[in-house]
Structure 1
Amino acid sequence: MLEPQCHQTRLGISMKSLVLIFLFSLLMYGASGVETDVVESVSVIVGDYFTLHSDVTQIQKDGVIEWRFGGDLIGRINDNLALVNDNEKFRDRVHLDDQTGDLKIRNIRITDFGLYKLEINGGRGISTRKFNVSGVDNLTSDGVKLVPVLERDSVVLPSGLTEIQRDDQITWKFEGTLLGQLKNLTAEIFADVLDGRFVDRLQLNQQTGSLIITNVRPITSGLYKVDITKSGSRYTTHKTFSVTSIDGGNKLSVMEGTSVTLESGVSEIYRDDVIMWRCEHGDSVIAKISYGNFAPSEGTDGRFRGTLELDNKTGSLTIRNIRTKHAGLYHLDITGNRRTIFKRFNISVCPRCWSPWVLLAMCLPVVVGADIVIHIIHHLITIRRQKASRTSDKVV
């Protein structure tokens, strides 16, 4: 009667052994790095950069890493020496990190879209990883987006994202110096770098990760770079913007006591639009529209008291009974989910006490040239002297 129990016991031990052997084999199968069918999708825009991560923190001395595209070798790391295949397709656009094995491709083209394969041969066997790169064409991009901005205006450098996930990481740099980052939906700005040139000039949109630069000056012109790593992904996309400040703007010349309207340029205001008018005097907000609420201001020193009218349909600003104290730069900022607009107006005010001769002297150089104006003024003065001389002779 005991023999069947022993047989069952032996059978149970045998089954356990088989399970253990199976699990051990499975672990060894995985450890050997046998290729899997998992392919990570990478979405980019033509002209941008991207980095495919190997997830290796330090390459072993005898380790070998190879990157291939469509079966063709792109680059290899052997004995910590990175070698990039010198082919016409990726010429001068590929960088291979000799410490981590990460692959970076600059100024991506449509012909770069396809399947990339990483193979790591280390002490624990061979492991592989695949990335399927696809994206959107952008015929105007050459890798660096040129952004001309009127001096003292503001500009938005877009991340290209519509909504940020919790584990997304976004980093902004200027000429290699960290300006701001967004991690765990928390934005952090480092405006005190580079002698404080960015103090009170930077904002980081926590919904999209876009960088807003206000009051652009020549010292803030240069290359801005954003690195974006999506949550759970093994790749990073990069965008580069070349910001240049230029002199100019909408110049308006008006007579004291008249009215002037600064046009917003939009035909209607959306519900989520925030429209803000600022004046260079203390850079103060003098009018604002936010979620249907209209609020003209008097300015920090009251100089606009009773003079401002705000159009509730277009957001245009009218200054009534304008005075010389109202001359200067005016900024318009329109921000919302559908658009971002920045405009600048330079207003000069001519005092009423100026004679027509002074106004003529101011306007004519622009039209006919300074030499001709000098000749005209000299001729008018001669005529006036002759009239005065004749009047004097009659009196005598």
Structure 2
Amino acid sequence: MVLCGLFGAQTDQINTLISVTEGHSVTLHINITELHTDEDVEWTFGVQSPDEIIATIYKDNMTSSSINERLKNHVEIDAQTGSLIITNITTQHTGLYQVTITNAKLVNFIYRVIVHARLPVPVISRDSSQCSSSSSSSCCCVLCSVVNVSHDVSVSWYKGKSLLSSISVSDLNIRLSLPLEVEYQDTNTYRCVVNNPITNHTQHLHITQLCHTSAVGVLRCGFTEAVIRLVVSAVVGVATVAVLVYDIRSRRESPSTSDESECK
């Protein structure tokens, strides 16, 4: 959970921004060690229905819990301090929570709670379709992907500590992918990081493991080149032999021609 301080603070009103990951529990404190017998505590939720009461403590110490469907079975109130406890919080519980403490002086506490979805672990895979045609023979193309991510998530590639590229999303529950090209023999350290404002997951790229099949491609390219060289050598060899045979025959025919001339 992350407390981000105050926002729009006013007299007798304390506003706090809280970020939390879904599945966790969060307590909205009102900085009271113990309620006095003359104090009423009333918690409300939402902006559209600010008067929707979700939990209360009255002077007679009678308490009531949420009637909001989203918060049902998720909230309880501390009878001693008046703090609100939200258990197994979900993204549907994002919103404004306001507590009003009534006694001789009226005090309001407003909490803006942002619940972030759990981050998926990024998956790195090889994807040759991401390679440019000019580099496909010398580079290994990989893809870092995450699925079902929320609007506050980004995916980034790092080379050592240096940021190479990054992408974020504006829609919910979509697939987010970021490509990277590396050379087959690259020995640098690469990592893919998926993060939101409060947490992150890192996946390291193991080039020798993921791109080991590239050796086949390199071998094929080397084999083709070797075949071409062999064919060229063969052609040159045949041509050389033909020249030598022609030269030998020419030399053999020359003496006989001279002898015939002398006899005449």
With normalisation by structure 1, the TM-score equals 0.31
With normalisation by structure 2, the TM-score equals 0.45
- The higher relative CO (CA closer than 8 Å, separation ≥ 6) is in 2
Q: Give the structure with higher Rg (CA).
A: 2
